[in-house]
Amino acid sequence: MATDSLTVTDNRTGETFELPITNGTVKAIDFRQMKANESDFGLMAYDPAFTNTVSCSSSVTHLDGDAGVLQYRGYPIEQLAEKSTFTEVSYLLIYGKLPTQSELDSWNSQLLELMAGEEVLKTITSDFPENAHPMGIVQATVAALGTLYPDSKDFDDDAASLEYAKRLIAQIAVLGSWAYRHGAGQPLLDAPKNASYPGAFLQMMFGEEPDPRIERALDILLILHADHEQNCSTSTVRVVGSSDADVHASVSSGIGALYGPLHGGANEAVLQMLARIETKDNVPAFIERVKDRDELLMGFGHRVYKNFDPRATIIKEAVDEVFQITGVNPLLEVAQELEKIALEDEFFVGRKLYPNVDFYSGLLYEALGIPTEMFTVMFAIGRTPGWVAQWWEMKHDKEQKIARPRQVYTGDMDLDYVDIGNR
């Protein structure tokens, strides 16, 4: 008997099956051969919320949640945050290797060129109500971008697909800045001709050249958000893309998934929570409410990190540096007190709840002058290269087909239709 295998006895029939184990997984489809009787469909794996299901093989991002490790294409996040730039990381995620200087120069100038504003998207953005949430606007305008390029549905042309993916990475910064400017009642600006990616974004947001230190802090934030393997929004991008939907429709769906407060929306929810707690003295009472299950401690906990989220550690350092430029936000004290108490309290320690990327990112965004409702848009801008790289990998993965989970049906069956007058 092979050692890398699992022996299963189906006690309904007494039959024994040997399932191969590859990369620490067994194939769910191998259970289908286990049938209670001839007419049985076969055994399936039940996994609501995919807590223990591997949906793909990927060489984009390595994450070890127990050890607190995050690597893009094998490079530790700490080194990338210290030495790289967001555009270089985007290249790395998409092409799978670090660029040479000339490749990077060309990539940067292409991204800047592809930031050229699409007039029709300016109009669409301007037609939203002024109080529309910018995430909703960006989700819609990313989908609308696809309608301007119907050829983007031609997946057989790798070079063209890559061009659309690249344009999307460039355009999301423009569309994000426009969503903000529209809400602020200000004219929508075009990208400057000569700037870095974060610099161009900040200039489109605020209409002036940013402080290089602020630009670098934003660059780091975008690097930290660039990919995070098979999370809720990335899985959504892959599921939608598996139907052969183009990159715009797929990423637009990912933006919808990121919108929710349990995912990317948590950074906004953290700031709202800190503002509600107001002062350090109110923290113990708030923690008690969390333990009584009246509240969630937003920015804490993670499906895969059962240790420090390495991104949170890097952001915390960046917060200190940015506050030296901008002055300290009094809510930092509230956040630090929450973290201190939670890391000592058995409720959080026992459940392995640590600060995640969103716990401090909101404070940093606020220090950069970015308003709360834009936080999740910032996350989406940063995550776009990751979504695109994952979409691209999925399209080239011969093992993938249209995604289609199964269900256990628990409803009624074989009812007789009752005429409306007789109900």
Catalytic residues: 263, 302, 358
Footprint of ligand ACO on residues 297-316 (CB under 6 A)? 297-303
CB 321 within 8 A of CB 217: yes
Pick 103 or 229: Cβ nearer ligand ACO: 229
User: By CB under 6 A, is residue 227 in contact with ligand ACO?
Assistant: no
Please choose, from the candidates 116, 307, 315, the residue with its C-alpha nearest in 3D space to the C-alpha of residue 222: 315
**Cβ of residue 300: shortest distance to ligand ACO, in angstroms?**
4
What number of H helices and E strands is found in the chain?
Answer: 17, 5
CB 117 within 8 A of CB 188: yes
**Cβ of residue 243: shortest distance to ligand ACO, in angstroms?**
24
**Cβ of residue 66: shortest distance to ligand ACO, in angstroms?**
14
Over the window 331 to 370, marking each residue x when it contacts ligand ACO by CB under 6 A and - when it does not, the resulting string is: --------------------x-x--xxx------------
CA distance 123 to 125: 5
**Cβ of residue 221: shortest distance to ligand ACO, in angstroms?**
12
For ligand ACO, which residue of 176, 241, 264, 382 counts as binding (CB under 6 A)? 264
User: By CB under 6 A, is residue 77 in contact with ligand ACO?
Assistant: no
Pairing of strands 61-64, 69-72: antiparallel
Torsion of CA 268, 270, 271, 273, to 10 degrees: 120
**Cβ of residue 174: shortest distance to ligand ACO, in angstroms?**
24
Selected range binding ligand ACO among 12-20, 154-162, 193-201, 290-298, rule: CB under 6 A: 290-298
Pick 55 or 126: Cβ nearer ligand ACO: 55
Selected range binding ligand ACO among 70-78, 158-166, 257-265, 313-321, rule: CB under 6 A: 257-265
- Residue 156: burial class (beta carbons within 10 Å; 0-12, 13-18, 19+): exposed
CA distance 7 to 16: 7
- Residue 412: burial class (beta carbons within 10 Å; 0-12, 13-18, 19+): exposed
User: By CB under 6 A, is residue 296 in contact with ligand ACO?
Assistant: yes
Pick 199 or 301: Cβ nearer ligand ACO: 301
**Which residue's Cβ has the minimum distance to ligand ACO?**
301
Selected range binding ligand ACO among 19-27, 256-264, 329-337, 399-407, rule: CB under 6 A: 256-264
CB 277 within 8 A of CB 248: no
CB-CB neighbours of 196 under 10 Å: 22
- The tokens describing 101, both together, are 């200087």
- The tokens describing 262, both together, are 């349990």
CA distance 309 to 321: 19
**Cβ of residue 357: shortest distance to ligand ACO, in angstroms?**
5
Site residues for ligand ACO per CB under 6 A: 262-264, 266, 290, 296-303, 351, 353, 356-358
